[in-house]
Structure formats: structure tokens, C-alpha cells
């Protein structure tokens, strides 16, 4: 059976001529029904641009899709009729963002905004649509949903607003939900509650879920598979357990060293990855990570490492991936 979503060798550029930035340089991933894929990386790695291209909401210009394909249940979406794309949004795939406050309109009640989908896409009356909106708020565990459905966004806490956004995104029962940094603006306790909610809804509805994040800690407990992005490429991709047990790419290892580990009672010192991600209009030759990698040798500055198979579906784009996998996770990695 075809995966729910299949992104294959996706390429996106911004700008023209010498100002061209290669934002996606051949990104491939897939999501199956009922599965959670976490897409992990620092800001500017291409996580959101990939998601926007999947959703058909990438601004073109300045963006330009220069290659690859995006298939939903086998149907090619790149180059598809805009009307078809619009129909799929909401009905088949939906997306939520970091900033729920700016995504909600301050002058309408939360319920009214959820109800609009039932009115305009399901032809319901205003009254019936509001009843459905309250049901949706109840689904995302907002207490007193029947009362709160009439309240305005500013009357909701940050966590409640994100719940309302989730309710809105699920109104038309999509098969795929993309959550782009859904908890970044929230405090740690609320983050965990939202993650738990997303995980529960995914399970109950058999949805595919893509969780985009820069924080490995946030997805540790809910991801089935993890794709790590760097400079518009996937640099490592495997199931979550293998990623934690045998991280292959020095960038992944650096990300792991820079977040507190749940199982680390002794509290090992956190080591942020030195340096910054490259500018996408000046990606370094060879391995794009080499200026920040403590293991870089001559071949790393000369040859772009291909994504290679390490067995059991584990892939990494590092010339020495096999060696790092064999070493296990606990060796000092990024800067000895």
C-alpha cells in the first residue's frame, strides 16, 4: 500500500541568480497512516518549507519548486490544480503553527472560527455549526466547552488557544496533521500536555502526524520515526529507538548532547553545538556540516556525503556514519 504521504527528492530555491538560496536540496520522507514522524533541526534547516510545500501554501515567489514530488495517497500534488489543493487542505491534510494567537482572529469568538468550517465546507446552519464547534473544543479537552465556545481568543490561555487551533485543524477530519513547532511558545508543563493530546488524537483517529521541532526532548516520547534536517537536507533518518541508541550523524549527536536527557540522573553537562547553521545562499562545499564538525577531515570539505543505508532502514549522510553507529551514543562528539 502506498504511504499516506510521500515526499521525494524535493528541491526548493528562493531568489534568483547570485542571490539564489537552495532551501531544499533533495528532501525525501514518508508518513504512513497512524504514524508519527518527527522532523528535527535548527531553524532555517528547511523543516517548515518542506511542510508548506506539502500543504501547497509555500509563497511562490519568492519560493520556487525546482524538482521532486509530493504524493498524497499516491496522487501527485506538485503542479495539481489549485482548486484540488484547496479542497485537500482541511479535508485531507491540515497544519497548525507555533503562534496560535496570530492564527486566530481576535474579533470573532473561538467557536465562530471553528464553526466557519462546518458552515462553508459542510453546509451546516450557524446554530448546528456552533454545536459542532463546542464538540470539537470538548474533543481537545477544553473544560466547559459549551460556555467557552462563545469566548474570544484573548480569553484563552496560550495552551487553550493551541488546543483550539488543533480543534479547528481537525474539524474536517483530515488524515494527515502537520504540527509546526506546536509547543515552542508554551511553558514546559503545557508543552507536555499538548504533545500528549496530539498523540492521543493521532491514535484515536488513525491520523498520520508530522511533528516539526528544534527540540529533541519534545518528541522523544511520541515519535515513531525521526528525520533530522540540516541545511535543506535530511542528514539522518531512522526509527526513534535507533536514533537514541545509535545516532550516526555528528549533527544528531550534537543535538542529543545539547538537550537534557530524561534518563540522566547524574546531570551530564549540556554542550551546545558550536557555530551556526550555514546561510542557504552560501552552503559550504562538501559536507554542509563540516565547519561545525569536530570530526571533519579532508574528504568532508571535498565530497558531499550521500544518505547511506546503515541497515534496518537507518540512513545517515556522513562519510563516517558506520563508525559513529558502532561507537554508540555516549562518546563525546562535537567538540573534544
Minimum gap (Å) between residue 242 Cβ and Mg ion: 25
172, 190, 192, 296: which one contacts ligand SF4 (CB under 6 A)? 296
Torsion sign across C-alpha atoms 159, 164, 165, 171 = positive
Q: Which stretch binds ligand SF4 (CB under 6 A): 23-31, 103-111, 138-146, 286-294?
A: 286-294
Nearest to 138 by CA among 183, 171, 104: 171
| Binding status of residue 148 toward ligand SF4 by CB under 6 A | no
User: Rounded to a whole number, what is the largest CA-CA distance in the chain?
Assistant: 68
Say which entry of Mg ion, ligand SF4, none residue 148 contacts (CB below 5 to 8 A, set by partner kind).
none
Beta bridge partners of 172: none
Minimum gap (Å) between residue 6 Cβ and ligand SF4: 27
Minimum gap (Å) between residue 234 Cβ and ligand SF4: 13
Say which entry of ligand SF4, Mg ion, none residue 48 contacts (CB below 5 to 8 A, set by partner kind).
Mg ion
Return the number of the residue (95 or 318) whose C-beta is nearest ligand SF4: 318
The torsion angles phi and psi of 18, rounded to 5 degrees, stand at -70, -15
Minimum gap (Å) between residue 299 Cβ and ligand SF4: 7
Say which entry of Mg ion, ligand SF4, none residue 290 contacts (CB below 5 to 8 A, set by partner kind).
ligand SF4
Question: 140: which 3 cell numbers?
Answer: 481537545
Say which entry of Mg ion, ligand SF4, none residue 293 contacts (CB below 5 to 8 A, set by partner kind).
ligand SF4
The mark string for 301-320 relative to ligand SF4 (x by CB under 6 A, - otherwise) is: ----x------------xxx
14, 97, 112, 289: which one contacts ligand SF4 (CB under 6 A)? 289
Minimum gap (Å) between residue 318 Cβ and ligand SF4: 3
Q: What residues from 158 to 187 belong to the interface with ligand SF4 (CB under 6 A)?
A: none
For cell 545562499, what's the residue? 281
User: Within a 10 A sphere around the Cβ of 143, how many other Cβ atoms?
Assistant: 9
46, 63, 208, 250: which one contacts ligand SF4 (CB under 6 A)? 250
Segments of the chain assigned E as strands:
5-14, 21-31, 36-40, 63-72, 75-76, 93-96, 176-180, 208-213, 225-230, 233-239, 308-309, 315-316
Peptide bond into 61 cis (omega under 30): yes
Question: Strands across the sheet with 21-31, in order?
Answer: 21-31, 5-14, 63-72, 75-76
Return the number of the residue (72 or 251) whose C-beta is nearest ligand SF4: 251
Interacting residues toward Mg ion by CB under 5 A: 48
The torsion angles phi and psi of 226, rounded to 5 degrees, stand at -130, 130
110, 287, 310, 325: which one contacts ligand SF4 (CB under 6 A)? 287
Question: 265: which 3 cell numbers?
Answer: 540522573
Return the number of the residue (48 or 334) whose C-beta is nearest Mg ion: 48
Instruction: Give SS3 for 254.
Output: helix
Amino acid at each position: 500500500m502506498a504511504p499516506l504521504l510521500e515526499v521525494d527528492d524535493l528541491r526548493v530555491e528562493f531568489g534568483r541568480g547570485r542571490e539564489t538560496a537552495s532551501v531544499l536540496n533533495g528532501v525525501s520522507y514518508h508518513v504512513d497512516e497512524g504514524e508519527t514522524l518527527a522532523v528535527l533541526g535548527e531553524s532555517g534547516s528547511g523543516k517548515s518549507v518542506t511542510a508548506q510545500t506539502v500543504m501547497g501554501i509555500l509563497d511562490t515567489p519568492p519560493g520556487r519548486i525546482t524538482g521532486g514530488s509530493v504524493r498524497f495517497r499516491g496522487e501527485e500534488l506538485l503542479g495539481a490544480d489549485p482548486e484540488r489543493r484547496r479542497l485537500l487542505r482541511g479535508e485531507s491534510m491540515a497544519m497548525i503553527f507555533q503562534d496560535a494567537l496570530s492564527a486566530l482572529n481576535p474579533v470573532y469568538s473561538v467557536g465562530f472560527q471553528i464553526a466557519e468550517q462546518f458552515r462553508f465546507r459542510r453546509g451546516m446552519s450557524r446554530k448546528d455549526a456552533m454545536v459542532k464547534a463546542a464538540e470539537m473544543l470538548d474533543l481537545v479537552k477544553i473544560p466547559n466547552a459549551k460556555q467557552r465556545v462563545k469566548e474570544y481568543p484573548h480569553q484563552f490561555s496560550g495552551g487553550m488557544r493551541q488546543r483550539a487551533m488543533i480543534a479547528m485543524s481537525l474539524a474536517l477530519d483530515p488524515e494527515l496533521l502537520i504540527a509546526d513547532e506546536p509547543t515552542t511558545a508554551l511553558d514546559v508543563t503545557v508543552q507536555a500536555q499538548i504533545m500528549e493530546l496530539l498523540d492521543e488524537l493521532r491514535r484515536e483517529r488513525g491520523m498520520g502526524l508530522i511533528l516539526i521541532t528544534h527540540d529533541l526532548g519534545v518528541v522523544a516520547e511520541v515519535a515513531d520515526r525521526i528525520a533530522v534536517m540540516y541545511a535543506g537536507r535530511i542528514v539522518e533518518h531512522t526509527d526513534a529507538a535507533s536514533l537514541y541508541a545509535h545516532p550516526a550523524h555528528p549533527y544528531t549527536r550534537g543535538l542529543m548532547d545539547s538537550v537534557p536527557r530524561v534518563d540522566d540522573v547524574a546531570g551530564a553537562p549540556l554542550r551546545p553545538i558550536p557555530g551556526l547553521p550555514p546561510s542557504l545562499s552560501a552552503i559550504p562545499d562538501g559536507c554542509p556540516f563540516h565547519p561545525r564538525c569536530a570530526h571533519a577531515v579532508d574528504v568532508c570539505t571535498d565530497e558531499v556525503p550521500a544518505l547511506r543505508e546503515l541497515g534496518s532502514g537507518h540512513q545517515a549522510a556522513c562519510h563516517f556514519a558506520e563508525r559513529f553507529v558502532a561507537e554508540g551514543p555516549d562518546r563525546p562528539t562535537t567538540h573534544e
